[in-house]
Structure 1
Amino acid sequence: MWLPLALLTALFESGKDIFGKKGLLAGADPYVMAWAWRLLALPFLLPLLLLPQALPEQLGPAFWPALLAGSVLNILAAILYMKAISQSDLSLCVPLVTFTPLFLLLTSPLLLAEVPSPGGILGVVLIVSGAYLLNLSRLSSGWREPIRALFHAPGARLMLGVALIWSLTANIDKIGLQNSSPLLWAAAINAAIALGMLPLVAMRRRQVEARYCLPWRWLVLVGLCGGLTTLCQMLAISLTQVPYVIAVKRLSILFTALAGLLLLREQGLRERLAGTLVMLAGVILLALA
């Protein structure tokens, strides 16, 4: 069941990206949008704790340290993420999160002693390699140009930082799950992030209140998709290795890139679709590994 859950994670992750971009274009502050991502997920997650066996008999000793570390890192990642998509096209900056599986090849063996199979490693590398094709038209200026074009785009470096942080938090999620339950961890991590961001948002609102608005429709949709993403991801990584789930989750870039190109009229349809299709091949290889 891990693969269908991971695919649903990708679908809801893409919805969060699209609705987040819509909200930012409508005038939302990136800090407020990042906060809504976690806060408004709670009404959809908390009722699930009433389900049978949603709560563990007891919490493991690593639950609270994992919750503290995961919430701090995810606060930083959420802010960087919303700033990145506010500065760049979705179809260009969002694919950079495919570097998370590459980073996971280093962090998972260190934190969880999980070593992917050779086929799994090849699938992850293929997904990340697809990012090179996103600016293939720059190849005529040299083989480095597609890479340079990515990292020189506004918001690209921010998204690379997000990918690095998420390679750590994905493993922390696994530790949190092992010391609680998927439903409890999904609710707890979102609540901790929302609570931790509250002082930042309050200070930010006073500073920029005159410049930004609150497009509630997009905020609520971001929260819904964020909550469902977290839930499906936690269930999936409780069933298999973290790098596999995160690699399949990155399939969201295909949905997001298509939405950006077709709905938001972003440029570079051919090359950006080529890159996402290579990443899709990597996902299929991972599923068969």
Structure 2
Amino acid sequence: MKRILISGGAGFIGSHLCERLLGEGNDVICLDNYFTGHKSNIRHLLAHPNFEVVRHDIIYPYTAEVEEIYNLACPASPIYYQHDPIKTTQTSVLGALNMLGMAKYNRGKILQASTSEVYGDPLIHPQKEEYWGHVNPLGVRSCYDEGKRCAESLVMSYHRQHGVRTKIVRIFNTYGPKMDINDGRVVSNFIVQALRGEDITIYGDGNQTRSFQYIDDLVEGMIRLMDDTPDDFTGPVNIGNPHEFTIGELAREVIELTGSRSQIVHLPLPEDDPRQRQPDITLARQMLGNWEPTVQLREGLRKTIGYFEEVLTRGGVRR
């Protein structure tokens, strides 16, 4: 049994990670301020004898005796991270400082959740970890993009200066059950609009591409990065599904799987929205025990649609 802290543990990704780590026999502390996380995501875990929940905002210091930290706390969808851009940057930067400080104090190991957004609107395709990115530091997305880039810098500084055992994962578009119905991400948007019979809104011409990863594949990759790589291997490592789809293809797939009569409508492309996003996962395959995404888009969408069907039958309220 390991004692593990997950910041952002009530969020979409964090709650799945809590389930997996508890299932493996670990003692888990879930830290969350519920800005984007939901108690409903972890309610079924509350009776577990090895599970503890603490309501806390990681921009303020927190201390616990733990062996591993997964630092996931930060709003990750544009609707939420642009709602309070200063708070978003604080969470990325001050939150990383506080979690790294706790890892140093405990002589523990920390995994920092970064993002494909550090590549910005990439000029290299697909994106490899050594690519430095093409990011607008002044745009409306910069609070998140630059916050995560700074967090990566802090992680490497703690590793070099203090010898903290650190890991960086760059997460590409991830979807699955427990996504927020109102988070504005493309997969949840399309599914909810299709199930409601509303127009499906595509921003831009729909030819921009994304690579969609099911949540179980991400959790598997993160745990392998934390547990199965040498201490001197910090990453960053891209974790994503390299199969590339246009947004228009995704919309048509959702319409088919839901049996919806929704029509596709086009709206203006948001500022700094990337035209292409596809991970090169060569490094993950090499370092994570031949890790490979196993859930392809159609299968993952069916599972996610089933989840949202249940949520919508309750009037959009999650239990």
Fold match by TM threshold 0.5: no
TM-score by length of 1: 0.32
TM-score by length of 2: 0.29
Compare the two structures and name the one with the higher helix fraction: 1
Greater RCO, 1 or 2 (C-alpha within 8 Å, sep 6+): 1
